Amino acid sequence: MGGARVRDELAGRLVEATEQLFAAGVMAHSGHANLSARLDGERLLLTPGHVRGLRPGQLATVGFDGRVLEGELQSVSAEIIAMHTAVYEARPRVGAIIHTHSPAATAFAVAHRPLPCRTEPMLRFGQAEDVPVVPWGPRGSDVSVRGIAEVLERRPTTAAVLLANHGLLVFGPDPAAAAHLVVAIEESAEAEIAAAAIGGAVDFPPGAQEAVRAAIAQVAS
């Protein structure tokens, strides 16, 4: 019974995160995305490929070995299981993952350009460094999954990667935190593109990350 309660609670949080992304206007026209939440060291909850109007009953329980244990997944969703499990295996503290085709962030992915951290929301929501680009590989392929794993190994503190010619992959402790970071990254990408028209964006001054942390700690105390 306890396991069912945990699953239902996580499913509800994934639905809420999806609604948060649509409300923030960071989704592609197609509404395509996939979200997952870690159930334990061997299983995750995974959404279908199109999440507009998502309901908790649509989520599938999937093993890290790729087997669907409960529910159903279309082949378009089954292809990306390895992408999610690669992150969970590389980052034991990650509790949720979100993949979107958010337009401005995807522009950086298509350009093969890392997204710099030059906005305060990125600092506040866990990406105090540029978002690196993973080299292109066919969706869900060994090439793509190895590329993600290699970038995560080289960049142990990044909470997001850009998938070249594809989109954005963000991970965090829970679905809400991951969704907040998706929004922060998309807003930052939009700001970078807009700033290019007026001379280009400028880096934070030295010590910005420490100053933001101190401000957050002061409010929380």
Per-residue pLDDT of the chain (221 residues; tens, 9 = 90+): 357 888 899 999 999 999 999 999 999 999 889 999 999 889 999 998 679 999 998 999 999 998 999 988 876 677 789 999 999 999 999 999 999 999 999 999 999 999 999 999 999 998 999 999 999 988 878 899 999 999 999 999 999 999 999 999 999 999 999 999 999 999 999 999 999 999 999 999 888 888 887 877 776 55
What pTM does this model have? 0.93
Q: What is the pLDDT of residue 5?
A: 86
Nearest to 79 by CA among 136, 5, 157, 142: 142
Residue 153's contacts (CB-CB under 8 Å, 6 or more residues apart) are 90
CA torsion sign for 181, 185, 186, 190 is positive
Q: What is the pLDDT of residue 170?
A: 98
Kindly list the structural domains of the chain, giving each domain's residue range(s) and its CATH number in brackets, ordered by start: 2-220 (3.40.225.10)
Q: What is the pLDDT of residue 2?
A: 54
